[in-house]
Amino acid sequence: MTDNREENEIDLLELGKKLWDNKRFIIKVCLIGMVIGLIVAFSIPKEYTTTVVLMPEAQSASGGTMGSLAALAGINLGNSAGTDVLASPDLYPSVFQSTPFLRGLLDIKVKDVEREIDTTLYVYMNEHQDIAWWSYILVVPKVIKGFLLPKDEIVGQESNNRFISEEESILLENLIKRITVSSDKKTYITSIGVTMQSPGISAFLADSLTSYFQSYIINYRTQKARNDLEYAEKLYNDSKNNYYKAQQQLAAFVDGNLNVVSAKYRTTQERLQNEASLAYSVYNQTAQQLQLAKVKVQDNTPVFTVIQPAMQSIDPSKPNKKLILIGFIFLAFVIAGCWVLRDDLKRMVIGNK
C-alpha cells in the first residue's frame, strides 16, 4: 500500500512538473481561448430584462359582497361557491405558456423610438432580431434543404386555429423563453419578466403583457358569471313582460265589467288577480336574481395591484461576458493540459483496463 501511495505521489509530481515545463504553451492556448471568448461574448446580441411585480386581490372565502347581498335576500351561500382555479397564482406560469395566450400576444403593438420600430410583436421577432454571426452558418444547411426539397402546399389550414406553422411554432418557443413568471406562495406576489434585445420594447411589452394578462384572467374568471347575468336578464325581461301583460288583462277585464255582479265575474277576476300576483312574485324574484348576478360579476372580477411597474432597463441582462470569458479560458486550460499530458493519460487509461 505504501509503495502504491509513493508511486501515485511521484506521478502527480511528475504531471505537475510537465505542466510547469510547458507553461508557455498552456499560456498561449489560454490566450487563444480568451480571444475566442471575447469574440463570442461580443458577438452575442445584448438583451434587456424588464420586471413587473403584481399583487392579486385576496379572495374571500365567504363570497365578499355577493355573500352579503345574498344574506339580505334571504339566501345562504355558505362556502359552497368554491374558488376558481385561476385564483391561485401558482397556475399563472401555465397560463403564460399556453398557446392561445401566446398567440394573442403576437398582435400586440411594440415601439422603439431609438430604432424607429413601430410594428407588431410578430413582425418584430421575425424581422428585427439580431443574431450571432455563427447562426448564419448553421442556417445554411436548412436553406439548401429548402431549395432542394419540393414545398408541399397546405390548403385550407391558414384559417384553422388548431394549425400552427413551423415558423410560428419556433417563434412561440422563443417567446416562451423570453417571458418568465414566478409567484410567492405565501404572499401571492407575482413577478413577470420580459427579455428583449431592445430595452424600450422590453419595457413596452412588459406593460402591455401585464394589461393583456389582467384582461385574460378577468375574462376567464367572469365568464360563467357573465353567462349567468345574461340568462338572469332574459328571465327578468320575460317575467316583466308577463307581469305587465297580466296587469293589462286584469285592468281590461275590470274596466269592461264595472256594473256586472255575478259569480262567474268574481271567479274570473280572482283568477286574473292571482295570475297577476304570481307574475309579480316571479318578476320580483327575477329582479333580485338580476341584481345578485350583476354583483357576482363585479365580485368575481379580480383586482391586481401593480407594485413595480414596467421600467426601461439601462444595463443589459445578457450576455454575461465575464462568465463567458472565464469559461473559455478554463476550457482552453483543460484542453492544453490534456494535450501536454496525453501520453500519461493514455498510460493511465490502459493501466486501469
Q: How confident is the model at residue 351 (pLDDT cuts 50, 70, 90)?
A: low
Contact assessment for residue 216 and residue 98, using Cβ atoms and an 8 Å cutoff = no
8 A C-beta contact, residue 275 and residue 283: no
Query: Which pLDDT score, from 0 to 100, does residue 157 have?
Result: 43
Nearest to 168 by CA among 105, 111, 113: 105
Query: What is the Cα–Cα distance from 282 to 138, expressed in whole angstroms?
Result: 72
Asked if 268 and 250 touch (Cβ cutoff 8 Å), the reply is no
Spell out the alpha helix ranges (H) of the chain.
2-21, 23-43, 64-72, 92-97, 99-105, 121-127, 133-148, 166-178, 199-221, 223-256, 263-300, 321-340, 342-352
Q: What are phi and psi of 28, to 5 degrees?
A: -60, -45
Q: What is the pLDDT of residue 13?
A: 82
pLDDT of 345 reads 78
pLDDT digits (tens, 9 = 90+) for 201-257: 898 888 888 888 888 888 888 888 899 999 999 999 999 999 999 999 988 888 887
Residue 312 CA to residue 212 CA, distance in Å, equals 19
Whole-prediction pTM value? 0.66
What are the sequence ranges of the domains in the chain? Answer: 224-300
The Cα–Cα gap between 282 and 237 comes to 11
Cβ neighbors of 120 (< 8 A, separation 6 or more) are 106, 107, 108, 109, 110
| Cis status, amide bond into 319, omega within 30 of 0 | yes
Q: Is the pLDDT of residue 63 over 60?
A: no
Answer whether residue 65 shows pLDDT above 60: no
